[in-house]
């Protein structure tokens, strides 16, 4: 019989991570798109590292850094009451780091592809940078925002190495769907592993299909044809 807790925990993690990533990634992407700073290549490299690093590497260093046995982890635990190792909060932090480029890169590309005249015209009219961002730039990169949101959500759903390293395998607390699949395979319960896998496969397929339909202008063309 299927245990729905890993799936519910997975989607809870994906939703929280996606919302936080959107808030974090917009200023990062804006800065990367428009800055002339010499530090830009370094920041871009750091943002992109999760794309090439094995997730277990990220998870290992997070496990070491936030363990109560180490100075920083002990300080978080004693002074802030925050224990990130083997906790849902740790899963969120690991997911933020590992899915960051999937949110930042589409939004950065959206900003970079906008005509400079949009921003300049807003400044000439006396609008502040924040007002220009909120009322001019962001409305004009909606496809990029949607792409970032959906890719970050889908990527978080499929995480395994990072969440296993920092969160462990605690039922109801850190046991997400990808770990549940691994457990069922280890137990040679292929039927249940297939059920979990097919649910995740179907959901991620639909999510990515929506991205391609939106970016391909399918919905807009269909509306115009009507």
d(CA 122, CA 129): 9
Sequence spans of domains, the chain: 5-218
Percent of the chain exceeding pLDDT 90 equals 58
What confidence tens digit (pLDDT) does each residue in 103-159 have?
999 999 999 999 888 888 988 888 888 999 999 999 999 989 988 998 999 999 988
Kindly state the tokens that stand for 120: 């300049």
Cα dihedral 148, 154, 157, 159, rounded to 10, equals: -70
Q: Identify the CATH assignment for 5-218 out of 1.20.810.10, 3.30.1490.480, 3.40.50.150, 1.10.3720.10.
A: 1.10.3720.10
CA dihedral over 6, 8, 11, 16, signed as positive or negative: negative
Q: What does the pLDDT read at residue 27?
A: 96
d(CA 212, CA 218): 9
d(CA 124, CA 225): 38
What confidence tens digit (pLDDT) does each residue in 171-201 have?
888 999 999 999 999 999 999 999 999 999 9
What confidence tens digit (pLDDT) does each residue in 12-30 have?
999 999 999 999 999 999 9
pLDDT band for 207, please (50, 70, 90 cuts). Answer: confident
What rounded mean pLDDT belongs to the chain? 89
Q: What does the pLDDT read at residue 225?
A: 55
**Could you tell me which of 25, 4, 52, 9 has the C-alpha nearest to residue 152?**
25
Looking at residues 157-168, what average pLDDT do you find? Answer: 90
d(CA 145, CA 193): 33
**Could you tell me which of 169, 207, 167, 206 has the C-alpha nearest to residue 186?**
169
Looking at residues 87-113, what average pLDDT do you find? Answer: 94
What confidence tens digit (pLDDT) does each residue in 52-81 have?
998 889 999 998 888 888 888 888 888 888
SS (H, E, C) 5-53: HHHHHHHHHHHHHHHHHHHHHHHHHHHHHHCCCCCHHHHHHHHHHHHHC
d(CA 30, CA 182): 39
């Amino acid at each position: 019989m299927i245990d729905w807790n890993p799936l519910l925990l997975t989607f809870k993690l994906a939703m929280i991570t996606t919302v936080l990533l959107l808030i974090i990634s917009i200023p990062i992407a804006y800065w990367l798109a428009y800055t002339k700073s010499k530090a830009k290549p370094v920041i871009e490299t750091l943002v992109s590292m999760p794309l090439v690093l094995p997730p277990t590497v990220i998870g290992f260093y997070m496990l070491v850094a936030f363990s109560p046995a180490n100075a920083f982890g002990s300080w978080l635990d004693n002074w802030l009451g925050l224990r990130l190792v083997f906790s849902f909060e740790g899963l969120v932090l690991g997911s933020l780091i590992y899915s960051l480029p999937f949110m930042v890169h589409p939004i950065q590309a959206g900003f970079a592809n906008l005509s400079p005249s949009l921003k300049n015209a807003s400044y000439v009219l006396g609008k502040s940078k924040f007002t220009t961002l909120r009322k001019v730039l962001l409305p004009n990169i909606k496809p990029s925002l949607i792409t970032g949101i959906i890719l970050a959500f889908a990527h978080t759903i499929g995480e395994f190495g990072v969440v296993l390293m920092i969160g462990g395998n605690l039922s109801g607390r850190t046991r997400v769907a990808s770990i549940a699949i691994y457990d069922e395979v280890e137990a040679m319960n292929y039927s249940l592993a297939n059920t979990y896998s097919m649910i995740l496969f179907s959901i991620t397929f639909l999510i990515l299909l929506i991205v391609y339909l939106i970016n391909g202008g399918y919905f807009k063309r269909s509306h115009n044809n009507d």
